[in-house]
Amino acid sequence: MVEIFKVLIVDDEYHARKLLSEYVSKLPFLELVGKAANVFEAMDVLRKEKVDIMLSDIQMPEITGLEFIRSLKNPPSIIFTTAYSEYAVESYELDVVDYLLKPIAFPRFLQAINKVIERRSNDIPEKAVINNIERQVESQEEESIVVKSGYKFYRINYNDLLYIEGQREYVTFHNTKQRITTLASLKDLEEKLPSSRFIRVHKSYIVSIKHIELIDKNILHISGQKLPVGGSYKDRLMKIFE
């Protein structure tokens, strides 16, 4: 029998709490026992509930996640969830299990949860069950990507995503409904997005294969837009249509 791990989410952003709640609900061995918008609400949950895993933001009003963890005598297993990479070293000094940078993809979330379970349990059959669930999840292609822009989180369905434009340290997601700009790199996105659905065609562009309308020499037409095709990317692009 798989042990159930009780989870507390601590984040001052509503959309972050909502996304993490959805991730927790996907895993049958996790039970969400509380969602807290600040440290004081989190302390109240910890007094009332047994908590095995705490997913905590770092940048929060009045008391940071780092200060909060330091104040706990017997903290649960901690996974930090934050948009700021500069706290990574300090967080590991607190012996946190993992450090997730927003926007958080589900496979990365699952990896962090698995780390917690491996630390907490020496039950080999249970690990086998968890690993089997992980393989099943990874075998199913994700249908969306979560993007953080400012203080908002957007879920962009792959079916709606037309192309991504690189702009130095930023990228802009062009979909059928809107444009969303965030701090990211095309290289990271190229590795993250499913290669069966997206392809890089230029140093500044990744496009949705299904939305390509026409390729005319070194120009690609997609949803009424004309995008350049880089010489080093063209051969790979053309193989898709052979």
Residue 209's CATH number = 2.40.50.1020
Query: For residue 142, what pLDDT band results from cuts at 50, 70 and 90?
Result: low
Strand partners of residue 216: 219
Q: Give the largest CA-CA distance in the chain.
A: 66
What is the model's pLDDT at position 90?
A: 59
Query: For residue 133, what pLDDT band results from cuts at 50, 70 and 90?
Result: very low
Q: What is the helix (H) or strand (E) element at residue 94, kind and residue range?
A: none
Residues 15 and 135 in one domain: yes
Residues 110 and 185 in one domain: no
Residues 39 and 72 in one domain: yes
pLDDT tens for 33-67 read 999 999 999 999 999 999 999 999 988 877 888 88
What is the model's pLDDT at position 100?
A: 87
Q: Three-class SS of residue 90?
A: helix
pLDDT tens for 74-99 read 899 999 988 876 655 555 567 788 88
- Residue 151 to residue 15: CA distance in whole angstroms: 9
The total domain count for the chain is: 2
For residue 166, the one-letter residue type is: G
Residue range of the domain that includes 230: 144-239
Residues 77 and 155 in one domain: no
What is the model's pLDDT at position 208?
A: 94
Between 240 and 69, the higher pLDDT residue: 69
